[in-house]
Structure 1
Amino acid sequence: MTILIYSLWPLFALILGGLALRRWNFPGEAFWPAAERLNYFILFPALLFSSLATAPLDNPALPRLALAVLLALGGAWLGLLLVRRLRGWPAARFGAFSQGILRFNTYLGLAVVGSLHGQTGLVLAALLLALMVPAVNVLSVWSLTAEQGVSVRSLLWPIVKNPLILACLAGILVNLAGIGLPGGSDRLLGLLAAASLPLGLLCVGAALRPQELAGEKTALLCNCGLRLLGMPLLALAVARLLQLPALESTVLVLFFALPTAPTAYVLTRQLGGDSQLMAGLITLQTLLSGLSLFVVLALLR
C-alpha cells in the first residue's frame, strides 16, 4: 500500500502542477501548445521506439495479450452501440461519450507502469500501445462521423499520420531486423524519453478545464464510473478468462482504468462533436483517477 502511494502521488502532483501553472499563466500561454507538440512528435515517440526496438517480441504471452485487447475493446464497443441505439444519441454526443469510455491517457499510463514495474513494465506497455492506439483511433473517428458516412480514408488517415503509431511500427521493425540501438543511440533516445513523461503530465494538467464541470452532472458521473471502474473490471474478467500472467494482467487492467486522453478534446472539436461534454469528461476523469487508480492497483496487488 505504501509503495502505491509513493508511486502515484508524484505523478498526480505533476498533473496538478500543470493545472496551477496554466492558471498562473506561467511560463505563458504559448508554451503549452508548443510543449504538447514537442512531446507528441519527438519525445514520446522516442520513448516508444526505444522500448520496442529492444523488446522481447518472442514473449509467449503476447498473442494472448492481443486477444485480450480485442475482446475487451470489442465488448466495450458493442455495449456503446447498444446504448446509442436505446438512447438515440446523435454522433456529436455519442462520439464524446464513447471516447470517454475507450480512449486512455497514455502519458499517465506509462508513468504509472514505469514507476511500479520499471523497464520491464514499460516494454510491455509499449507493446500494448501498439495494439490499442490504432484500434481506439479508428473507433473514435467512426463514432464522431457515423451520421456523415465513413470512408476508408477518414478512418485510416489519423492512424497513418499518428507519430505514436509510426514510432511503434519503426521500433518493431528495427527489433525484427536485429539492428538494435548501436553507437550510443540508446543513450540519446533514453535522454529524450526521460523528458517525455514529466512534461506530458504537466501538459495533461494544463489541459484540464474545471469550468466545464458545471453541466450534465449525470452524464459526467456515469461516464466516469464506466471508464474508471467498469472498464478495468471488464479487462480483469478477460485477463482471468485467458489466464494471462500477473504482470500482463496488471498492465492490461491498468490501461483500461486510465482516464480518457486530453487529445480527445481536439479530435472532438475538429469533427464537430460535443466538445463541452468532452472537456468535462477529461477533467473529471483525470481528477477522480487519483483515487480510482489507487483502488484498482491496490486490489490487483
Structure 2
Amino acid sequence: MIDLLLALWPLFALIVGGYALRRWDFPGDAFWPAAERLNYFILFPALLFSSLASAPLDNPALPRLAMAVMFGLGLAWLALLLAKRLCGWPAGRFGAITQGILRFNTYLGLAAVASLFGKEGLTLAALMLALMVPTVNVMSVWALTAERGVSLRSLLLPVLKNPLIFACVAGALVNLSGLGLPGGTDRLLGLLAAASLPLGLLCVGAALRPQELAGEVPTLAWNCALRLLAMPLLAFAAARIVGLPPMESGVLVLFFALPTAPTAYVLTRQLGGDSHLMAGIITLQTLLAAGSLLLVLLMLGAA
C-alpha cells in the first residue's frame, strides 16, 4: 500500500496544484488554454509517438489486450444504449452520462502507468490508446448528436483530426519500418515527452469546477460509481476471460478505473450537450479518483 501511495500522491498533488494556481490567477487566465493546446498538439503526441516508435510490437499478449479493451467498451456501450431507451434521456444528457462512463483522463492514466509499471507499462498504455481514443470519441460524438441525425463524416472527422491518433499511427509505422529514431531524435522527443504529463496534470486541476457539483447529486453519485468502480471490475473480468498476463491486466484495469477526461466538457459544449452535468461529473470523478484508484489497485494486487 505504501508503494501505491508513493506512486500516486505526486500525481494528485499536481492536480491540486493546478487548481490552486488557477484560483490564485497565476500565471493568468490566458496561460491555461495555451498550455492545454501546447500539450495536446505537441508535447503529448511526442510522448505517444516516441513510445510506439520503439515499442515491442511482437508481444504475444497484444491481440488479447485489444480483445479485452473492445469487449469492455462494447459491453458498456450496449448497457448505456439500453439505459437510454429505458430512461428516455435526451441526447444532451445521454452524451454527458456516456462520456462520464466511457472516457478517461489520459494524462493521469499515463502518469500513473509510468509510476507503477515503468517504460514497459507506458508502451502498453500507448498501444491501448491507439484503440481506445478513436472508439470512445466516435461513441461520444454519436451519443451527443444521434437525435439530430449523424453522418459518417461528422463521426470520423474528430478522430481523423485528433493529434493523439495521428501520433499513435505514425509511431507504429516508424516502428514497423525499422527506421527507429536516429540522430538524437529520440532525445528530442524524450525532452518534449518529459514535459507533457506534469503540465497535463496541472491543466487537469485548473479545469476543475467545484461550483458545478450542485443540483445533480444522485446522477453524479451513480455515474461516479459506475466509472470508478464498475468499469474496472468489468475490465478485470475481461482480462480474466482472455487470459491476460499480470502487467497487461494491471494497465487495462487502471485505464478503466480512471476519471473521465476534462476535454469531455469542451466536446459537450460544442455539440450542445448538458455542460453543467458534464462539468460536475468531471470534477467529482477527479476528486474521488484519489481514493478509488488506490482501492482498485489494492484489490487488483490481492486478486
Q: Which ranges in structure 2 are unaligned for 5 or more consecutive residues?
A: none
Q: Report the residue type matching 2:262 in the other structure.
A: P
Aligned residue pairs: how many? 301
| Equivalent residue number for residue 201 of structure 2 | 201
d(CA) in 1 for partners of 2:163 and 2:268?
19
Shift of 1:300: 1.2
| Equivalent residue number for residue 178 of structure 2 | 178
| Equivalent residue number for residue 4 of structure 1 | 4
d(CA) in 1 for partners of 2:81 and 2:135?
16
d(CA) in 2 for partners of 1:176 and 1:221?
45
| Equivalent residue number for residue 73 of structure 1 | 73
2:124 aligned with 1:118, yes or no?
no
d(CA) in 2 for partners of 1:82 and 1:156?
24
CA displacement 1:54-74 (0-9 Å, x = unmatched): 001111111111111111000
| Equivalent residue number for residue 189 of structure 2 | 189
Q: Which ranges in structure 1 are unaligned for 5 or more consecutive residues?
A: none
d(CA) in 2 for partners of 1:27 and 1:19?
12
| Paired residues for 1:54-65 under 5 Å | 54-65=54-65
Shift of 1:25: 0.3
CA displacement 1:86-106 (0-9 Å, x = unmatched): 000000000000000000000
RMSD: 0.4
SS at match of 2:63: helix
d(CA) in 2 for partners of 1:27 and 1:5?
30
| Equivalent residue number for residue 156 of structure 2 | 156
d(CA) in 2 for partners of 1:222 and 1:233?
15
CA displacement 1:111-136 (0-9 Å, x = unmatched): 00000111111000000000100000
SS at match of 1:139: helix
CA displacement 1:186-230 (0-9 Å, x = unmatched): 000000000000000000000000000111100000000000000
d(CA) in 2 for partners of 1:73 and 1:38?
29
| Equivalent residue number for residue 233 of structure 1 | 233
Q: Report the residue type matching 2:63 in the other structure.
A: P
Q: Among all aligned residue pairs of Structure 1 and Structure 2, give the percentage whose two residues are the same amino acid.
A: 77
| Paired residues for 1:90-169 under 5 Å | 90-169=90-169
CA displacement 1:216-270 (0-9 Å, x = unmatched): 1000000000000000000000100111000000000000000000000000000
d(CA) in 1 for partners of 2:160 and 2:139?
15
Runs of 4+ in 1 over 3 A off after TM superposition: none
In the superposition, the TM-score normalised over structure 2's length comes to 0.99
In the superposition, the TM-score normalised over structure 1's length comes to 1.00
SS at match of 2:121: helix
| Equivalent residue number for residue 256 of structure 2 | 256
Shift of 1:298: 1.1
Shift of 1:279: 0.1
Q: Report the residue type matching 1:152 in the other structure.
A: L
| Equivalent residue number for residue 49 of structure 1 | 49
d(CA) in 2 for partners of 1:133 and 1:59?
21
Q: Report the residue type matching 1:190 in the other structure.
A: G
d(CA) in 1 for partners of 2:70 and 2:188?
34
